[in-house]
Amino acid sequence: VVVRATKYDEELVATAHKIATAGRGILAMDESNATCGKRLQSIGLENTEDSRRTYRELLVTTPGLGKYISGAIMFEETLFQKTSTGKRMTECLTEQGIVPGIKVDKGLVPLANSNGESWCMGLDGLDTRCGDYYKAGARFAKWRSVVSIPAGPSLIALRDCAYGLARYAAIAQNAGLVPIVEPEVLLDGEQDIDQCLEVQEAIWAETFKYMADNKVMFEGILLKPAMVTPGADAKVKSSPETVAAYTLKMLRRRVPPAVPGIMFLSGGQSELEATLNLNAMNQSPNPWHVSFSYARALQNSVLKTWQGKPENYKAAQESLLQRAKANSDAQLGKYDA
Ligand code: 13P
């Protein structure tokens, strides 16, 4: 009989509930250096450690952010970084009541003998890294694996995605980090919403099977699903009400009520779409806290407003606060466009 380590159980449950609190969600600001560089280049900035720090400092020092944001996911560089005034980035977050989080996967590589699909690296040495991240102040983690509908998805890709997530979740919990479990079903493709539902049901069934096998404690995890929507190139679009109905149907079928929070990714939806869809999902009570963990749908306007210019710094922070508040309202089902 295998007995799981229970040292961190109470803390894991407390952390998960702190993140999944009414009217709050997660700011995903964990872009890899390459992806962050693309965002910075789009406003004419060079991709240096210094410009990444300036941008992340703008985000974490936004006054009042903690009212709407309960957790922030960082890339490793940011977790150990200090602001221009020498303060730890993590400290900027914790003093606003925001829980620091860390992206722990090592990215996607091709999966042999699949339909051009990928698998997610990062299990080697993960326990040691998680221990270091906990010491540095992180209290939750994220691992993003992807599922592509147009590429299949093949059974080996689904299985590998689910198994990797389950192994990661067990390792993170044993180190005191609440795992965010993210099998991102990509928006790309012409599939209709029913095909998306079928694939989402398949990946979540596999993920929960392997999480159970790996003795993951469901009260101490958070999920980061994509919403159930038609593909980006589908002929027929869906209203927020339809997206909400499909997504909630999928979640009710697959996710036990023991799970405290569902924190959606925005996945390429516009800022407004992401807010409207979330609002539609919160029109009646759900078994879990249903909220957001957006990157692009919280940051697009910030970057556009900032343009890398000191004179726009305050306005950019205000635009972050405005998006955060809109999604906070949507978490409460009270967003008014
Ligand atoms: P988007 O909200 O931009 O999809 O990013 C969320 C995220 O962290 C993906 O892993």
CB 293 within 8 A of CB 279: no
User: Each residue of 289-328: pLDDT tens digit?
Assistant: 999 999 999 999 999 999 999 999 999 999 999 999 999 9
DSSP state of 142: E
Contacts of 239 (CB under 8 A, 6+ apart): none
φ, ψ dihedrals at 310, nearest 5°: -55, -35
Is the beta carbon of 265 within 6 A of some atom in ligand 1?
A: yes
- Which helix (H) or strand (E) covers residue 321, if one does? helix 313-331
Is the beta carbon of 27 within 6 A of some atom in ligand 1?
A: no
- DSSP helix/strand/coil, 131: helix
Q: Does the annotation mark 182 as catalytic? A: yes
Is the beta carbon of 74 within 6 A of some atom in ligand 1?
A: no
Q: Which atom of ligand 1 is nearest to the CA of 298?
A: 2
ipTM of the complex: 0.91
Instruction: Please report which confidence band the pLDDT of residue 172 belongs to, taking 50, 70 and 90 as the band edges.
Output: very high
pLDDT in the model for residue 9: 97
pLDDT in the model for residue 5: 86
Instruction: Report in angstroms the alpha-carbon separations of 158 from 183, 204, 230.
Output: 9, 9, 20
pTM of full prediction above 0.95: yes
Alpha carbon 158 to chain centroid, angstroms = 19
> What mean pLDDT value characterizes the chain?
97
Is the beta carbon of 266 within 6 A of some atom in ligand 1?
A: yes
**Which whole number is the average pLDDT over 88-96?**
98
User: Each residue of 255-293: pLDDT tens digit?
Assistant: 999 999 999 999 999 999 999 999 999 999 999 999 999
Q: Residue 334 — left, alpha, or beta (φ > 0 → left; ψ -120 to 50 → alpha)?
A: alpha
The Å distance, Cα 18 to ligand 1 centre, comes to 21
pLDDT in the model for residue 73: 98
Is the beta carbon of 278 within 6 A of some atom in ligand 1?
A: no
Instruction: Compute the distance between CA of residue 315 and CA of residue 17 in angstroms, rounded to an integer.
Output: 32
The Å distance, Cα 3 to ligand 1 centre, comes to 34
Reference 250, options 268, 232, 228; nearest CA is 228
Burial class (CB in 10 A: 0-12, 13-18, 19+), 89: buried
Protein residue with its CA nearest to atom 5 in ligand 1: 295
